[in-house]
Structures are given as structure tokens and as C-alpha cells.
Structure 1
Amino acid sequence: MGYCRVNAWPLFVAAWFPCFLTTLCLTVLALVLFADPEQAPTWLQSRGFDPRTWLSAIVAAPFSAMVFAFVLDRMANAPEHGRVVVRRGIESVKHLAIPGMRFELGQRIFLAALLFAASQLLCGFAVAGEHRLLVAGLLAIRDLPLSPEDVAPWAAATGVFNLFAGGFVLAWTYLFVGDFLWTGSFDPIGCWRALKGNLLRFVAIMFIVLAIVAILKYGLILAAGLILIPADAEPSFLTLMLMHFALAWPFNVLHLVLSAATAGTILGAFRPPAIASTRPAAAP
């Protein structure tokens, strides 16, 4: 928290553009697939994602990887001038520099994105499968039609379980991705061993970060919905999507920056300093 407070502006500059692209891409994806729900292919839909398609995990992963890479670069004192680049170190793309923006494509971003996408797909499909099992179980022991009173307690219990289980998986995913970007190699076993004696502390810190951001995020969205949307009005799908993703954007920035900085702090204390992740790419 102290590092993020002191470096708030540089970290925001490093993270805002990838998070903006995430918001933009997810909004477009939601509008394309769900503006007319009857036309959305069933095989693309899944309840465990936001929006409710497994494509959202794949779309968001590269930009999340960029934020982690940029924050860890800054924490490792790597050169970062806020320029837009395709690969750092290539002279021919430096004329694309735009102050306050950074965008990077490369092997490390691609591999980190694969790790993020795999984790999100695993969690999302697990939630979707759990929902189907819950519905099937209730149908087996209850008479139709199911009432809200029949579903609510079970849905609340599974929601709490998913919160803790998903948060646990997400915390370790962040640490393993950060370790890959920090050291240049994927070594989850070595990362686990390096944190021996501090495992519970790390998970607790990541849960605190996740809980603070989630409370602020959904509290603001709920308050904005109550204030901006009249009780007797029926907002359009476009209005709901724009409000949802626009209000979520600053909290996505906050969550990723805090998570990356937490991972960087832990890795800085228990893992070797970054070598491969901060070395500029060689010009072809």
C-alpha cells in the first residue's frame, strides 16, 4: 500500500491504457453477443464469466498480463517511458510514442496471458458446472416449479464458497504470473517453496485487496444504478452495459495495480531479482 501510495501516478499511467482496452473489448463483446440474446450461440455462453461468455477470459487476459508486466517492470527499476511500443528495444517503432500510454506485445506477455486465461477459464467453467449441479440437485429433491425460497439459501452458500475458492486460485495465479515475469521462467514449485512460512500471510493480503476493491466497485455500481436509473424506468441493454463496464474500469485498474504491486513486494523479498523480464528485446 505504501509503494502504491508513493507511486500512484506512475502506476496509473502504466496501467490505465491496457485496462481501458479491456473495458472497451468486453463492452463490444457483450453488445455483439447479448444485445439480442436469442442470436447468441449457446456454445459461447457460460454463467461463470462477465459477460457470460468464456471468450471474456481470453479477451481480457493479454491486457491483464500487460498491467502486471508494466507494474513489475517499474518495481524492478526497468526503463519505462510511457511510450507505445510493440517490442522494447526496436528503434523502428519509437516514432509511435504517445505520452501516457504503453502497449506491449511479445513472448512474455503472450505466455503470461495464457496463464491468466487458463486460470479464468478453469474458475469460470467450474462455477458454471457447479450451477448446473445445483439446479439438477434441487430438481431431484423438490417439486416443480422451484420457488426463490428454494434456491436462495443454496445459491448464497455456493456464492460464498466460490468467492473464497476463486479468490484463492486468483491469488496464486497472480503470484505465479508475477514470478514468471519477475524471473523469466515458470517455476510454481520454486515460488511455493520460496514463500514457505508466509503462505497464509500472502493469501490473506491478496484476499484483503480483493475484498476492498470488490466492496468499493459493486457498492458504487449499485449506488449509481439507484441514483441514475429511475425506479419506474426500464434501461436499455446498451445503457446497462456501458454503465457496468465504465464504472468498473477504475476499480479494475486499482485491483490489478494493487495485486501486481503485492506480488512484486512478495517476490522482491523471497525470489531472485528480475533478469530476463527487464532485459530489452534485441533489435532484429
Structure 2
Amino acid sequence: MRISKTVARVFGYCRANAWSLFVAAWFPCFLTTLCLAVLALILFADPEQVPTWLLSPGFAPRTWLSAIVAAPFSAMVFAFVLDRMANAPERGRVVVRRGIENVKRFAVPGMRFDLGRRILLAALLLAAVQLFCGFAVAGEHRLFVAGLLATHDLPLSPEDVASWAMARGVFNMLVGGFILAWAYLFVGDFLWTGSFEPIGCWRALDGNRLRFLAIMFIVFAIVAILKYGLGLAVGLILIPADGASPSFLNLMLMHFGLAWPFDVLHLVLSAATVGTILGAFRPPAIASQSAR
């Protein structure tokens, strides 16, 4: 597996099938953004009323509920993209299931929504990984603050904090990307094959594990550069020039308005990368099973 060729193949596939992949992913990502925005509005419109046991700095919004809310929709996108890759690999063919069996009469063309058993189990795996990472980051934050207080005199200066905070951010980015990459692969393998066999998936990539990580990090980095570059540009436009703090509503619109398109891009590219690699190293999936 060559890194440059695999990345080019993923982006070539996404470019050639952009519309069908967007159709598969836009509605679950919209629901993610909507649910997280409602959660943030309920909990943080009046921060003094938020129960402390719901809060954690390792999540965005800063509550562990966000990992549980987002997981089913992320699993849907992975299932739909992998289903697309298994069922309609050729350009121009779009497979769209309208709703789940029990609510087909409410389905709208162009919207895909499914909470079958396999997707719920995949969501459980994603939520567990996100909760682990979020609580680990929160615990690390407490250790970081305690370490600074123990080794520096108060008040802390920006110079005391900046270098350590930067090192902590780089460490979290690398470790978080490592865990997320393998979580996506194992979840994708579960959706692809119908059985949860992380050891078999690990063995299937023997000799290509570092290449897989490099490919996923390239995909993550491209999305992050686009997201935060655009976020900075929008922030410079929307934040008042007089230095006044933006309102809570403006912050909500900036954060969640930018989140939706990049959630689509991140999940579609990640799922397409996982599907490309699984297609090369794992048995092919049965077409109709990946989104049930």
C-alpha cells in the first residue's frame, strides 16, 4: 500500500462520487449539528445552572453527553458511505434508502436515516472511544494545572503556560488521532464484515499499519487545516472590531454553522479511506448489510 497513491485514490473516489456521498452523509451530519447545538443551548445558555457532574473539558460542547449524542449519526455516515462503496462503486449510480422500515411513509427523498442493530452497535463503539478520549483529556488537564501550580509561583505568567500548553496540545492531537484512526478502522470493519474482529483487522494490515496511520493523519490534517483556516477567517469577520466579546448566540452560530460542512467532509473522507483500505485487505461486504 503506497501512501500517496492511496490518498489520491480516496480523493479521486470522493471527487467522482461527490454528490452521492453528500446525499448519504448530509442529513446525519445535520442532525449531529442540530442536536449538539440544542444540547449546548440547554446546558450553557445559563452556565451557573449546569450540574457539575455533566461537565467535562474534554468534549465539545463541554459535556460528556456530546459524545453520546453524536455517535449514532457518525455511525450512520460510516454505514452509508461503506454501503455506497460496496453497492454502487461505479460513477453515476446512487443508492438511497428512504428511511428505516418502520417509518418509510415519513421518508423524504435525499435523506438517509437508519438505526438498525449494526449501526447502533457501531455507535456504541464510537461513543465508548470518544468517552474514553474525552475523560482522558479532562484528567490530563487537571494534572497539567496541578503540575503548573506545584512548579511555578502564583500568579502564572503567559510564558509559564504557553510552552506547556502547546506541548500538551500536540501530544493530544497525535494520541487522539492515533486512537481515532484505529477506532474508525475497527468500526468500519464491523460495518463492512458484520462481525467485530479487531484482532483479525489488525493482522490483515500486517506490514501496512504505519502506512494506514500516515494516510489517516493526512486526511485528518487536510480537514483540520480547512476547518480552522475558514474558522479563523469567519471569526475575524464576525467578531466585533472594538474588542467586545461576541454574544453567546453569535458564538453558537459560528461554532455550529462551521461544524456541519466539515463534519460531512471529515466523516466522508474518513469512511472512504477506511473503505478503500478494507476493500484491499478484508473480504468484501454483502451489499445490503452494511446499513442494517
Name the TM-score class by shorter chain: over 0.9
Q: Give TM-score, length-normalised by structure 2.
A: 0.91
2:49 corresponds to which residue?
Answer: 39
1:156 corresponds to which residue?
Answer: 166
The C-alpha deviation readout for 1:17-38, integer Å capped at 9, x for no partner, is 0000000011111111111111
2:261 corresponds to which residue?
Answer: 250
- Structure 2: where are the runs of 5+ without partners? 1-10
Aligned residue for 1:186, secondary structure, equals coil
2:247 corresponds to which residue?
Answer: 236
1:225 corresponds to which residue?
Answer: 235
2:271 corresponds to which residue?
Answer: 260
C-alpha separation between the residues in 1 aligned to 2:12 and 2:63? 37
- Give the C-alpha shift of residue 280 in structure 1: 8.2
The C-alpha deviation readout for 1:142-165, integer Å capped at 9, x for no partner, is 112222221111111010000000
- Structure 1: where are the runs of 5+ without partners? none
C-alpha separation between the residues in 2 aligned to 1:199 and 1:53? 33
1:274 corresponds to which residue?
Answer: 285
C-alpha separation between the residues in 1 aligned to 2:19 and 2:288? 23
1:107 corresponds to which residue?
Answer: 117
- Give the C-alpha shift of residue 80 in structure 1: 6.6
C-alpha separation between the residues in 2 aligned to 1:137 and 1:80? 54
CA contact (8 A) 1:181 1:277 kept: no
Equivalent residues in 2 for 1:162-181 (5 A)?
162-181=172-191
Q: Higher relative CO (CA 8 A, sep ≥ 6), structure 1 or 2?
A: 2
1:201 aligns with 2:211: yes
- Give the C-alpha shift of residue 84 in structure 1: 3.2
Q: Give TM-score, length-normalised by structure 1.
A: 0.93
CA contact (8 A) 1:44 1:53 kept: yes
C-alpha separation between the residues in 1 aligned to 2:180 and 2:221? 13
C-alpha separation between the residues in 1 aligned to 2:280 and 2:111? 29
Identity %: 81
1:85 corresponds to which residue?
Answer: 99
Aligned residue for 1:129, secondary structure, equals helix
1:182 corresponds to which of 168, 184, 192: 192
Alpha-carbon distance change, 139 to 278 in structure 1, aligned in 2, over 3 angstroms: same
CA contact (8 A) 1:182 1:277 kept: no
- Give the C-alpha shift of residue 139 in structure 1: 1.0
- Give the C-alpha shift of residue 48 in structure 1: 0.8
C-alpha separation between the residues in 1 aligned to 2:131 and 2:32? 16
Displaced runs of 4+ in structure 1, greater than 3 A? 78-81
Alpha-carbon distance change, 249 to 280 in structure 1, aligned in 2, over 3 angstroms: closer
1:214 aligns with 2:234: no
Aligned residue for 2:279, secondary structure, equals helix
The C-alpha deviation readout for 1:172-205, integer Å capped at 9, x for no partner, is 0000000000000000000000000110111001
1:146 corresponds to which residue?
Answer: 156
Equivalent residues in 2 for 1:48-63 (5 A)?
48-63=58-73
1:75 corresponds to which of 61, 77, 85: 85
Aligned residue for 1:196, secondary structure, equals coil
